[in-house]
Structure 1
Amino acid sequence: MTGPSRLILPKNVLRDRVRRHVVDFARAEDGVMLALVMFMLLTMMTVAGIGVDVMRTEMERTRIQQVIDASTLAAAHKDNALDPKQVVLDYFDKAALASYISADDILVGGGETSTAVEVNLTAQVKTPFIRHLGNESFNVPARGRAEQAYGNSEVSLVLDISGSMDDNRRMSRLHRAANEFVDTVLTPDSVDRVSVSLIPYTGDVNVGWDIFSRMNVRQLHDYSYCVQFTPDDFSTTAIDPEDAYIQGQHFSHVDARFNYISCPTQSYETVTPFSQNNAALEAQINRLTGRERTSIHIGIKWGAAMLDEAFRPLVNDLVDNSIVDEAFRDRPAPFTSNTLKVIVVMTDGMNTETKRIKEFAYDTPDMRAHWARHAMDDWDNDVDGSVEDHLFDTYYDTAIGNALLQNICNAAKANGIIIYSIGFEINNDAAQEMEDCASSPSHFYRVEGVQISEAFSSIAQQLKQLRLTL
């Protein structure tokens, strides 16, 4: 008996079935997304790893730069007594960045009055993620430099010596405060770099014979050496010695004894230009006393002129005649230079009315001699008050003085001059004028009593910091 027979398919049928299975497998979509997802995840992880490494590198670069900046400043500081290189290395060590720097990356230089510290390095920041792609680290260059040196400075110290300064011990307090200011600004490390020009002002400014005689001024008398200005003169900081001016009149408004006069006569009441002599400046300050009237705008006009290069030919002539130190030849420096230019102005009031004698009554030497002996009030009290309007003009009143004050302050600030103003026991109106004159509200000090010393001390300390170039 034979066994069961097997079905033998024809070759063409078998071939068709195999082809059909192959085609079905090729067309099947089961499992395709898994491969795509795996590819996308791998790509995203790679991109994320690169991003993490880049962000980490940037954070490390920021840390390195911050440490460079801080360490070079500390190493270059004038009070640093340690080895500058060691200071920088210690900063990196404390920040756990010591592996990025060596002593060879640090350069120390500078001159006798300065120290310069420079760091120039290339850090190898490791890459935890993309190192598997063959990139072990990123190169991160970083550089920083600090130099601390006393730069050149020109300071105009403009001090109120009006009659009210004798009240409430204001003048004696000014003496002490201004002397401390001078000692703070003029130090051994500022020699031949920092100058102080002292400008005492009352109703006018006596520039003294040394300056007056070197200007193109029509001289009318020998009693004092003030210079008249026009309103336009307060729109510029310049006083050009070649320009034509007229000498200021010599008179007193009210004092028959001539202790209170608008243009003071004593040598210690005149302008001292470009000095670095602490003792001489302080001796002059200690002798200042109250006079007559207040013209802040004239004081600042002269303070600004001492900082304007138009005054340079006169200063050089003073140097040639050993009146100003040789170190200050070619001062004032140009406004475009790196020289720090500062006006510090102090007042205990506000601009007051100032009169002038009409030209016909001040025309001859005899007339000028008369007004040098007789106060204007004598005509009211002893002669004939009805003729006062025929003899005298109001040269400045408070409104005019304030307008000219803001003009000269704005001209100075436009040229880059820093103005600090101090209002010493003043009213609100005067405070507003002095704040407007200052470089900013923070440059204005309104003080009472002994606070004036604190104001001058604060300004002096700020000037020391401004003189440091970093």
Structure 2
Amino acid sequence: MRRDTRGNTLAMAAAALVPIAGMIGSGLDMSRAYMAQAKLQNACDAAALAARREMSGSVFDSDVRTEGERFFDFNFPSTTMNAQNVTRTVAQSTSDDTIVEVSASADIPTSVMALFGRDSISISVSCEANQDYGNNDIMVVLDVTGSMNSAPSGGGASKISRLRTGAMGLYRALADTPNTRTRYGFVPYSMNVNVGGILRTRDILRTTFYPQDEDGDGDEEYVGVDINETEWFDDGSSRGERIRAWRESGQACVEERPTIGNSYNDGDFDIDLTVTQDDIDQIASAWNDVDRQYGRWDPDENEYDDDGWCPSPATRLSTYGNETAFQDAVNDATAIVAGNTYHDLGLVWAARLLSPTGINASRNPTEWNGIPVAQHIVFLTDGDLVPTSSNYSSFGNWNFNRRLTGSGGQESRHIARFLSACSAAKSMGMTIWIIAFDNVDTDEVEPCATSSGHFYVTDGTDLEDVFERIGAGIGRLRLTQ
């Protein structure tokens, strides 16, 4: 038989079929196991990120664990690859309480390898996630118009009281973050903004022109009123000192200035619908740079119609050491609730106070401790943009001044200016978050948000949760393993 080799190939091939089949089959089984492990890793990552996003600061509770488990189960259902003995653990790191750790394992049944006594392949994964907060400057823009005093459409506490409570969610989501700095500023707005205390004396007109009926014949005309001709005459020995006293009065709302490139002509000037970075950043170069100065909002001097409301003062970016201090700042910003709704005022002034290249350039560095600073605007409103034809706003009196250029009605012009200001702020690197509270025309405000993920609608019952989710979004999530 050793000499007769005919047919040996067939015998050898037949003998090799069993190990070859085993090799091919084990390869298929291993391929299924690798695919299952990849799915298990994806589920692990999703669970870690979801759980970390749910955490407030370093607080890990049952809600955090449940959220992580929910995302794991969604991404790795029990039927995945016929997996058996699936386990998952969502926990807080014992070495760093800001980190979420997730581990998972499963047994993947085999097909061919089972013929050789290997019924399953065990797989396991682990991952962890942290919140990469970095440094953040956040301007909180709050609609404090008269409608905020009413209850939302679903009833209950007033919208302004819900705002005061809910805004704490933003602070809590970003609190207790080591080696970072988060600053908050506030811009309460209605038909005016109270920013005189933040501006410099040189940014204010010495002489502001108001519509007055000097002849008593019923015809209004522009009349210049110097700061020396006002109640502030006794507050200082110079015009500059008197302007400063007005600025520090707490009632220093301002009239909007001409668009950069347009000229101030004794109260008669144009404000364009397009807002550029120059409109946000440029400031007066001297006390007589009238084209870049703001008028003193003064209903006592404006005889055309002296109705109007000046909200609480806006505030510069600042850190808050605890919840009480932040709550006090929110309460102060929302102390005065009245007037009509001018979204463009709130957005433009938020950008002006947030910009690292404008009026607060020396206070708003682009880096802190060598780490970049991200700029965010959180904008909340409960209503549509509703200007007024006769009442006195930062744009003067519509029926007399008509300072806002363009075609269409007053409302459409302000909406166009608002959306232009949003685009300008975003082009400067600012991230805009919009909260539409109760009865808001979302088509009017949603385009302002940086993306659909930066836009929220609430009836007020979950307002604190909305602010927390924004805070979680500002603190960027990242996988650390």
TM-score range, shorter chain: 0.5 to 0.7
Q: Which amino acid aligns with 1:159?
A: L
- Structure 1 regions of 5+ residues with no counterpart? 1-21, 83-90, 99-105, 317-328, 358-370, 378-387
The one of 190, 197, 200 aligned to 1:202: 190
What's the offset of the Cα at 1:416? 5.0
Query: What SS does the corresponding residue of 1:393 show, helix, strand or coil?
Result: coil
Structural mapping, 1:212-223, within 5 Å: 212-213=199-200, 216=203, 218-220=205-207, 221=227, 222=243
- Maintained 8 Å contact 2:184/2:317: yes
> Once the two structures are superposed, what CA deviation does each residue of 1:350-393 show, in whole Å capped at 9, x if it has no partner?
14256899xxxxxxxxxxxxx99xx969xxxxxxxxxx76xx33
Greater Rg over alpha carbons, structure: 1
Q: Indicate the percent of aligned positions where both proteins have the same amino acid.
A: 17
Normalising by structure 2, we get a TM-score of 0.57
Q: Does the C-alpha gap of structure 1 residues 308 and 376 become closer, same or farther in structure 2, counting only changes over 3 Å? A: closer
Q: Does the C-alpha gap of structure 1 residues 355 and 74 become closer, same or farther in structure 2, counting only changes over 3 Å? A: closer
Taking the aligned partners of 1:431 and 1:60, their CA distance within structure 2 comes to 43
The one of 319, 342, 345 aligned to 2:380: 345
Root-mean-square deviation (CA, aligned residues, Å) is 5.6
- Maintained 8 Å contact 2:98/2:131: yes
In terms of fraction of residues, the more helix-rich structure is 1
Please tell me whether residue 269 in structure 1 is matched to residue 283 in structure 2. Answer: no
- Maintained 8 Å contact 1:185/1:464: yes
- Maintained 8 Å contact 2:367/2:373: no
- Maintained 8 Å contact 2:193/2:346: yes
- Structure 2 regions of 5+ residues with no counterpart? 63-71, 73-83, 208-226, 228-242, 247-251, 260-271, 286-291
The one of 139, 145, 165 aligned to 1:156: 139
- Maintained 8 Å contact 1:53/1:127: yes
Please tell me whether residue 409 in structure 1 is matched to residue 418 in structure 2. Answer: no
Taking the aligned partners of 1:166 and 1:116, their CA distance within structure 2 comes to 41
Taking the aligned partners of 1:164 and 1:63, their CA distance within structure 2 comes to 50
Q: Does the C-alpha gap of structure 1 residues 96 and 423 become closer, same or farther in structure 2, counting only changes over 3 Å? A: closer
> Once the two structures are superposed, what CA deviation does each residue of 1:235-275 show, in whole Å capped at 9, x if it has no partner?
3397336455221353559996987326x2xxx62212224
Aligned to 1:7: none
What's the offset of the Cα at 1:456? 3.0
Taking the aligned partners of 1:248 and 1:297, their CA distance within structure 2 comes to 18
Structural mapping, 1:250-329, within 5 Å: 250-252=297-299, 260-261=307-308, 264=310, 269-275=312-318, 276=320, 277-291=325-339, 293-311=340-358, 313-314=360-361, 316=363
Taking the aligned partners of 1:143 and 1:424, their CA distance within structure 2 comes to 43
Q: How many residues align?
A: 371
Query: What SS does the corresponding residue of 2:357 show, helix, strand or coil?
Result: helix
- Maintained 8 Å contact 1:161/1:200: yes
Taking the aligned partners of 1:259 and 1:454, their CA distance within structure 2 comes to 37
Deviates more, 1:398-407 or 1:232-241: 232-241
Q: Which amino acid aligns with 1:457?
A: E
The one of 452, 469, 477 aligned to 1:469: 477
Please tell me whether residue 234 in structure 1 is matched to residue 275 in structure 2. Answer: yes
Q: Does the C-alpha gap of structure 1 residues 57 and 303 become closer, same or farther in structure 2, counting only changes over 3 Å? A: same
Taking the aligned partners of 2:102 and 2:184, their CA distance within structure 1 comes to 33
Query: What SS does the corresponding residue of 2:466 show, helix, strand or coil?
Result: helix
Normalising by structure 1, we get a TM-score of 0.58
Aligned to 2:413: 400
Q: Does the C-alpha gap of structure 1 residues 238 and 376 become closer, same or farther in structure 2, counting only changes over 3 Å? A: closer
Taking the aligned partners of 1:233 and 1:144, their CA distance within structure 2 comes to 48
Please tell me whether residue 418 in structure 1 is matched to residue 432 in structure 2. Answer: yes
What's the offset of the Cα at 1:409? 1.8
Aligned to 2:466: 459
Taking the aligned partners of 1:177 and 1:314, their CA distance within structure 2 comes to 34
- Maintained 8 Å contact 2:192/2:253: no
What's the offset of the Cα at 1:402? 1.2
Aligned to 2:81: none
What's the offset of the Cα at 1:62? 2.9
- Maintained 8 Å contact 2:352/2:359: no
What's the offset of the Cα at 1:207? 0.9
Q: Which amino acid aligns with 1:345?
A: L
